[in-house]
Amino acid sequence: MLGNLNHVALVVSDLKLACQSWQNLLGATVSEPQALPEHGVTVVFIDLPNTRIELLEPLGDGSPVSRFLEKHTGGGMHHICMNVEDILLARDELIAKGARILGDGEPRIGAHGNPVLFMHPGDFHGTLIELEEVKPVN
């Protein structure tokens, strides 16, 4: 079912400052910020040779990551995202095995323009898992 690691997401309280740290200290190339109102975040991506790092900043007071920052004032790891070829098939298989999908269970479009779903962290020992549908390149 699972494909490659797509990205590791880190919540930050100040996206501009975080980008500067990654650029100045590690020499990372950081994408332009992208607001995702439907997810309540602004994101940037840092491309690595084998995966990406996603930096998330709350977009508005109702953002799910605002609640995360209340508990983790310095920010931190929010979730890991893995690729799947068919998100609906993966969702249905996971539900049949007893896993819980967050929200209404229907995929939403993520930062890469692909369908995504989040799995309940209680089913994965405290880790929030995102699945992103990525079709294989032929």
- What CATH code is carried by the domain that includes residue 105? 3.10.180.10
**pLDDT surpasses 90 at 32:** yes
Q: What is the pLDDT of residues 5-28, one digit of tens each?
A: 999 999 999 999 999 999 999 999
| Reported pTM | 0.89
| For range 113-122, the mean pLDDT | 96
| For range 67-89, the mean pLDDT | 93
Q: What is the token pair recorded at 125?
A: 């020992």
**pLDDT surpasses 70 at 3:** yes
> By residue range, what is the domain housing residue 76?
5-133
Residues designated catalytic: 130
Distance of CA 40 to the CA centre of its chain: 12
For residue 138, being part of any structural domain is answered with no
The total number of structural domains that make up the chain:
1
